[in-house]
Structure formats: C-alpha cells, structure tokens
Chain A
Amino acid sequence: MEQFKQVDGIVVPLDRANVDTDAIIPKQFLKSIQRSGFGPNAFDEWRYLDQGEPGMACSDRPLNRDFVLNQPRYQGGEILLARENFGCGSSREHAPWALKDYGFRVIIAPSFADIFFNNCFKNGILPIVLEDKMVDRLFSEVVAKEGYRLQIDLEQQQIAGSDGGTLPFSVDPFRKQCLLEGLDDIGLTLRHLDEIRGFEQQHRKNCPWLFAEVTV
C-alpha cells in the first residue's frame, strides 16, 4: 500500500448528510474486475447530467455545473469535507477506490459508517472524525475563501489551516502505523501464522462439526 504522511490540498465541501456508497460509485460500475479506473465515475449521478455506463468516455459527458466537484475553484481537491454518516450503505470497496482514483487522500466528517471507514485505511485514504462544531466551522471557511487549503500531518495528528491555526485529530495507533509505513495487512497477520494454526487446532477440537467434511 502507498504510504501516507502529509497532504497539503484543496478542500472540497460536500454538504450532505448520509452520503451512501451507491452515491459515491453507482452499481453499474461494480461490474469491473479491476481495482482502478473508478475516479471519473466517482459521484457519477450527481456529477453528470446523462446516465453513466461502464466504458463511456467521461470527458465528453455533460456536467452538472452545480455539483461541487465540477466547480472550477475545487478542481484538484485532495481533501473531502463531508457530513455525518459518510459512506453508509453497501460495503463496496469500489467507493474508496473511486475517491482515491479521483485524487482524494483525506476525508473529514463528523462521523463515518464502519465498513467504509475501515476500507479507507486499507487504501491509503485517511478518514478524520472531527466534532460537529469543527466541521461546521470548516464548511463556512471553505465556502468563504476560494483556494482554501488544509495541511494534514498524520505523524503529528494535526490539521493546519493557512491562517496558522492548528487542530489535533485522533487516529487509531495501529492504523496510523499501517498508513505511515504503507504496511500490508496480510503480511502483518501472517507474522502470527503459528498462533493462527494453534488456534485452529484447538477450535477443531472444541467444535469438530465446523470442520466435518461435507459432500454437497
């Protein structure tokens, strides 16, 4: 996995609560067997005026100019500012793949849905939970100032604004380490191979029916 240390980027405000993963990447794009290439279809139904289908070239499609990702001032954004319960619904990892592919490295929201939150870390995206009040403040600052940027420092667990003010955020230490070092979860787990084998043996004794051969 790609390492994550710092991001200094344009903030894109998505002012809606309960943004679900169907909205982040509509189901017709889930037919792909690839992990990449979802960026042009991130938020497809909100971003384009026509109906997107896999394989369509997105550069000629009519844009919904009102949608925040299409506004010139937010081009190149790397930090997504969102509302409560972001990423709810389907477990599709295509949602963080699409956001990452689009260019987002950080998502800030008052709360996230569990599976999505987890999926972000697995893909080098840092989801940051901030208090409602703070998120409100960021929303008004972003909207007030064109070119509004934030600097995110994962090592220091700090968000810095261009006015010099800083904000701390918390992050699970294990996940932080994985992001900082770009560690592969599977490799980490396989360091405990013997323990897993040992557990499995004991489990087989305790619950033999779970290991019985089935012919179906």
Chain B
Amino acid sequence: MRAQTLYDKLWQSHLVRTEEDGTALIYIDRHLVHEVTSPQAFEGLRLAQRTPWRVDSILATPDHNIPTANRAAGITDPIAKLQVETLDENCRQYGITEFTMEDARQGIVHVIGPEQGAILPGMTVVCGDSHTSTHGAVGALAHGIGTSEVEHVLATQCLVQKKMKSMLIAVDGEVTVGVSAKDIALAIIGKIGTAGGTGYAIEFGGEAIMNLSVEGRMTLCNMAIEGGARAGIIAVDEKTIDYFRGRPYAPAGALWQEAERYWRTLHSDDGAEFDAVIHIDAATIRPQVTWGTSPEMVVGVDGVVPDPAAESDTTRAEGIRLALKYMGLEAGTRITDITLDKIFIGSCTNSRIEDLRAAANLVAGRKVASTIKLALVVPGSGLVKRQAEEEGLDRIFTAAGFEWRDPGCSMCLAMNADRLSPGERCASTSNRNFEGRQGPGGRTHLVSPAMAAMAAINGRFTDITVES
C-alpha cells in the first residue's frame, strides 16, 4: 500500500462518500458547541423540523460571553445573557451535555474538550470556532466551521469537504531554554505568512515539536489557523496516549487497549509524500513578539519594529504603515523599549496549567510594575483553575498584583467586560492582534505566557532568555 500521511489516514477513515468532483462527506465524531455560533444553527434546525443526528457526539459550554469576575451576580449584559440562556435552552431541549456557567468543568471549549478526553486521537472534530485546529495536537482531524456548517453537522453528522493539500512543517533540532510552543507557532507564521497554509492541512513534526508536551502541541495547533490552515495535526506518540489515561470521556479497560492499538498507527508512514515541506531550524527561534495587526507581523524579542520603506511590495508596505499607525509605533523601535499598559494571560492558546506554571515561575516573589494598569490571569477551565489553586499559583499571581479570574475567553476577544480602552497596549498570550480585537482602539502584542509575565514585572518587553 502507498505510504500515507496522517491526514490521509484520518480522512480515509471518516470518508462516507465522494462525488466525482472530489466533494466528500466526512463523518464527524465530536461536535463542540458554544453560545456565539450555535443559536442560528439550532434555530435553522427547528425551522426545518430536523433534530440533532447524534446527541451524544455533542459537548457544549458557554465561554465567549461570560463574565470572569463576580460570576455569582450572573451576566449583566442583557444581550449576552440571552445568548447564553439560548444555549442552555437548546441543550436542555435536545438533551445535549452542557457544562453551564455554574459547572466546575466549564471553560473555553478548546480547553475542556481534551481535558475531558472528549477529544481523542483519530477523531474528527468540529466546532463553530476557527481555533478548533487546537485538537489536531492529539492526532485528531479538527476543523473550525461556520454556523451553516454547525447546523449541517447537527442534522447529518457529516461535513461537506474537499480533501485539502498536505504540508509538513518540520521544526528540526532543539529550541533554546525560554522558547515555548507559542514562540514556535509565531515564528512559523512569521515565516509562512497568515495565508501560507491556506488550502492545506499542516502536519507539524520534527524533534522540537515531538519534544513539546501535549499542551504545548495544543498551543501550536491552535495557531495553525493563524497561518491560514484550517487544520493542524501532530502524530500520536507515548505522550499523547499517556495524556488521555483516566480522563472522563476516554475509554477504559478492554476498550482502552483496543483504542490504544489503533492510536499507535496515527502517524505519517515513512516515505509519505506531502504537497509542500518546510524545514525550520529550532535553534534560530527567539522568543517572539508581534508588533503589528496581523500575527505574521512578528519579530524576535531582540529585534526592532520594521520600516515600511524597506519593503519593496507596495501592498505590504502599506500594510506595515497602517499597522504602525494603529499600533502607535515608530519604525526602528527596539522591541525591548516597548512599554505596556495591560497584561493578559489566558485564551485557548495559553490558559492550560503548564502555561500558568510557566508564567507563575517568573512572577514568584516579584511585583507587577507600577505602570501596569491591569494584569489578568484567566484560567482556561474550572478544572485548570482548581489545579492551579492546589499548586498555589493563584497566590503567586495575586501577591504580585495580578487579578485571578474565572474561566472564559475574556480579553482574548473582549466580548465581556474584560477589554482594552482605546490606545492601551497589551502583552497578550492570545492568538489574534487584529485591530480592535481586545477592545476598540486597543493595541495587542502576542507573546508566550513567560514573556507576558516578565512584561508585567518590568512594564516592558524583556528577553527572558537573557534576563530572568
């Protein structure tokens, strides 16, 4: 048999039918649902007098809209409240499992999925959210979808898809100490551009990737979409399998053994061919900081803000000029000379326990700089929060002057009260630095949790590989 890529295997094992032109129906194993992209889908379903195909494939939780402080008081914004209540009501009506706002297991949909073992290797996963790519980290084929597709999967358990091209991004060798999965993700996007992966399923491989923990791999795959790829995947190895042992939704006993045998086949075969292959030398990756309004506008912390005059392509030069204007930055400014107003540690990219440990490690025994107006830590789920509290991380953060919040998307997209005011500059562990993403007029610099923590302490960006 022809050597297959991991993507080939995942595709093939879920293929229901293919039309002559290549349009295919792909069976979906897990459907994650949240409040923002589902109401119109449920409504469409009802209008067409349809019902969900497989209720037990769905797991729902509110995350985008909910408050991260004083939750007992409920949601004050009436429009947001209605949206969350609509999710609760839809789940109740169809018997869908939902971790509601009051549930200790509630959290960001991409954090709770793997945490519960509701995502498993070899699954096909969808969610009405582009960061569904996160779940590829455990050898699952995960697609972010639109609301019409949410309705389609609810009604048919299938997604209409054409097979994508395949790309291998191999990060060879080892990274230097202080360089995290987030830095690898940003460095890759800096190299391929935000449209570099469009039309591809990207498999990440190479020593530096397989050295990452499963959580680190989630951070990386989470940002595959920022490189344009709808899906990012990583082969299953021992770490992946260990990660799932004992999780609530994971199989047990004989089923576990059967599953484990199958999971061990989830890697690209030797000699499998990719449509594109990119190699990156891990040793060259520095801690990354974005300076602009697109994740590809990124440099190493030892770099400077670029000069549009040095860019020969006119559209790109104009893009840089607009970004610098929005960001209030001058070409040639050293990254380490940029001072911050707010710090956000959280989001589906970097709110898992290891992220909080990495940040707490640098914060311990120090104080947030007096120039920082607000430093937030928002755990990715209620269970991450509990774990962190058991380890005493919350006390490290609060002693330093951080606020310790309840789980949710929070200032990643600022749909709730957590946001930047116009002109405020934030070091954020989230995934998007688009204009207004963290609040109208807000200025976002994407960084790793350790870099955000150090920025809080020093009030400006610091090269953590030199000085920590």
Q: Answer yes or no: do A and B interact.
A: yes
Knowing A118-B146, A174-B21 touch, does A216 contact B249 (C-beta < 8 A)?
A: yes
Contact across chains for B228 and A88 when beta carbons are under 8 A apart = yes
Q: Which residues of A contact B435 (CB under 8 A)?
A: 22-23, 45
Contact across chains for B316 and A33 when beta carbons are under 8 A apart = no
Contact across chains for B65 and A196 when beta carbons are under 8 A apart = no
Chain A CB count within 10 A is highest, among B80, B198, B230, B248, for B198
B429 at the interface (CB under 8 A from A): no
In whole Å, how far is B224's beta carbon from the nearest beta carbon of chain A? Answer: 11
A76 at the interface (CB under 8 A from B): no
A77-105 vs B, CB cutoff 8 Å, 1 = contact: the mask equals 00000011100111111001000000000
Contact across chains for A186 and B440 when beta carbons are under 8 A apart = no
Residue in A closest to B50 when the chains form the complex, CB atoms: A186
Within 8 A of B (CB), among A177-216: 184-186, 189-190, 192, 195-196, 199-200, 203, 206-214, 216
Residue in A closest to B99 when the chains form the complex, CB atoms: A216
Contact across chains for A192 and B17 when beta carbons are under 8 A apart = yes
CA distance A51 to B441 in the complex (A): 10
Contact across chains for A17 and B16 when beta carbons are under 8 A apart = no
Q: Interface-forming stretch among B34-42, B171-179, B276-284?
A: B34-42
CA distance A113 to B37 in the complex (A): 18
Q: Which residues of B contact A189 (CB under 8 A)?
A: 25, 152, 155-156, 158, 160
In whole Å, how far is B263's beta carbon from the nearest beta carbon of chain A? Answer: 10
Q: Which residues of B contact A32 (CB under 8 A)?
A: 79, 83
A164 at the interface (CB under 8 A from B): no
B246-284 vs A, CB cutoff 8 Å, 1 = contact: the mask equals 001101000110110010000000000000000000000
Chain B CB count within 10 A is highest, among A93, A96, A200, A206, for A93
Closest 8 CB pairs of A and B: A209-B251, A33-B39, A122-B148, A93-B146, A119-B146, A93-B147, A91-B130, A85-B195
Q: Can you show 17 pairs from A to B with CB atoms below 8 A apart? A: A17-B315, A22-B434, A26-B440, A31-B83, A32-B83, A33-B86, A54-B79, A85-B195, A91-B37, A111-B195, A122-B148, A122-B149, A189-B156, A195-B16, A195-B17, A210-B120, A214-B249
Residues of B within 8 A of A (CB): 13-14, 16-17, 19, 21, 23, 25, 27, 29, 36-37, 39-40, 43, 48, 50, 56, 64-65, 77, 79-80, 82-83, 86, 97, 105, 116, 120, 122-123, 128-130, 144-149, 151-152, 155-158, 160, 162, 194-195, 198-199, 228, 230, 248-249, 251, 255-256, 258-259, 262, 294, 315-316, 318-319, 322, 413-415, 432, 434-437, 440
